Amino acid sequence: MAFAWSGRRGEIASRPYLWQGSGFHRETRVTRTFSLPLLITLLLVARLAGAPAAALEAGGATQRPFLPVERTPFHVPAFRNDAISMLNVWLPPHRVAPYHEHSRDFAYVVVRESPTLVQNWGDAAPTSIIWPRGAVGFGAFSKQSLTHRAENVGDMPLSIVGFELLEPAPKGRAPSERPAGFTQIIDNERLRGWRLALKPGEITPAFTQRAPGVRIVVEGGELIETDADGDGQNMALQPGDFQWRDAGPARALRNAGATTIELLEFEVK
């Protein structure tokens, strides 16, 4: 994912047809220098190793060794229905997720950050990226697939929770208009999403979810969800928790704990 964010908060500029997002991040192009003898040796080895593979591929006997994202190390499928497939990405410190291909539209939330080297297939060098906690992104990979690898170069795990859209095209669902407290962070042809940060004791106005979707927890706590009849359900939320939510009747959310709760909610069009 070698891309550049513009100076405006939350907009990725270099691949606008692929990415939308929110949150600040820092990225640096990484280059490596080699002595001339070592460079010549590396080029000869690469040429000798690559020539047979290239010949086989040209003859149709082999394919590029890309993993589907759901079979990639540290990318764990966690839930699936007719609309979405959830992925729980937990990349331990100093470990690598090898080259894998994204071919479906994909939304993600960074739950825990760590410095990461990301290299797209064909790029000469990786890009050093630090996504902030709570950053949100979307890739329209059904229009153009992305193959990349990621290496966590930090001392803490990198945690990302995301979901692929399994429906090949929008179904024409009309998402909600959320009340005060919700901040809209993304709206495209495939989904609409909001960020909600509730301080202890705060409550949202009642709202009706008009399209099905996903909730992802960035910062947990005790949340009470109350329906139109006043019946409430207590939830002990943890960072990285997620929930598929069908469209349904009016509900309100209250923080019944002692810490701020941060949620991302998406509705699928």
**Ordered per-residue pLDDT tens for the chain, 269 residues:** 333 332 223 333 233 333 444 444 444 444 444 455 544 544 444 444 444 333 333 334 445 578 999 999 999 999 999 999 999 999 999 999 999 999 999 999 999 999 999 999 999 999 999 999 999 999 999 999 999 999 999 999 999 999 999 999 999 999 999 999 999 999 999 999 999 999 999 999 999 999 999 999 999 999 999 998 889 999 999 999 999 999 999 999 999 999 999 999 999 99
Backbone angles phi and psi of 244, in degrees to 5: -80, 135
Residue 50, pLDDT score:
42
**Residues 262, 219 contacting (CB under 8 angstroms):** yes
Whether the predicted model's global pTM rises above the 0.95 cut: no
Residue 63, pLDDT score:
53
Q: In whole angstroms, how large is the CA radius of gyration of the chain?
A: 21
Q: CB under 8 Å to 111, separation ≥6 — which residues?
A: 133, 159, 160, 161, 216, 217, 218, 239, 240
Residue 56, pLDDT score:
33
CA torsion, ordered 43, 45, 47, 49, to nearest 10 deg = -150
